[in-house]
Amino acid sequence: MSNILLVSATKLEHHETELDGIPIHIIGIGKVEAALNTYKLIHKYKPDHVVNFGSCGNLGNTEIGQVLEIGEVYDDFYGCVVPEHPPIKISNSVFRLFTTDSFYDSSAVYSNKYTECINKCDVVDMEGYSIAKVCESENISLSLFKWVSDDGSKSSWKVNAAIGYNNFKKVFYERFNKEVA
């Protein structure tokens, strides 16, 4: 792939401006910011492939710092999957991502439909579905890589996000045939 667009929600997840000479573009936290800024970047840079990476919350048995390539992403459209917002298949990976409008809190009580959707997935974030939707609409291939930084608790996010980013760099170099820096 000759023209990769790297996007991340926030610089707090990686503290770098580029990866192997490829600029990292910040698209913002949340579905609206992520969709709008991904769309603008696609039209500006005309990439062959978009790679989104970042931290996520654990919904299952995934280890802190483990990097997952997402296979399918779900939208929390008011706590349920509706025909207008079906899951989007991105790759053959078995890992499923649930994208929500707010930080997931493992101690909160959610509606039955919301909990039903969460139970279908392995991890949760706030940008994945909207990035996938933009790439799908623009006919651009996408890879979503998420690393587990928390289990719905914000207390250890910063340290775990750094661990995950270092692990992601290794996965990125292997997947895109880059030499490890």
Residue 83's pLDDT is what? Answer: 63
Taking the C-alpha atoms of residue 67 and residue 122, their distance in angstroms, rounded to an integer, is 12
DSSP assignment of the chain, as one string?
A: ---EEEEES-GGGT--SEETTEEEEE--SSHHHHHHHHHHHHHHH--SEEEEEEEEEESSSPPTT-EEEEEEEEE-GGGS--TTS--EE-SS-SEEEEE-SS---TTS---HHHHHHHHT-SEEESSHHHHHHHHHHTT-EEEEEEEEEESS-STTHHHHHHHHHHHHHHHHHHHTTPPP-
Write down the mean pLDDT value for the chain. 87
Residue 153's pLDDT is what? Answer: 58
CA 116: distance to chain centroid? Answer: 20
Taking the C-alpha atoms of residue 156 and residue 143, their distance in angstroms, rounded to an integer, is 26
Residue 24's pLDDT is what? Answer: 97
Task: State which fold the 4-175 domain adopts.
Answer: Rossmann fold (3.40.50)
Q: Which residue shows structure tokens 């707090």?
A: 12
Name beta bridge partners: 51: 6, 143
Q: Considering the entire predicted model, what is its pTM?
A: 0.89
- Within the chain, which residues score under 70 in pLDDT? 1-2, 77-83, 151-155, 178-181
Contact 125, 70 (CB under 8 A): no
**Number of other residues whose CB lies within 10 A of the CB of residue 140:** 16
Contact 126, 56 (CB under 8 A): no
Dump pLDDT digits (tens) for 125-151: 999 999 999 999 999 999 999 998 876
CA 84: distance to chain centroid? Answer: 21
Contact 71, 120 (CB under 8 A): no
Taking the C-alpha atoms of residue 27 and residue 49, their distance in angstroms, rounded to an integer, is 16
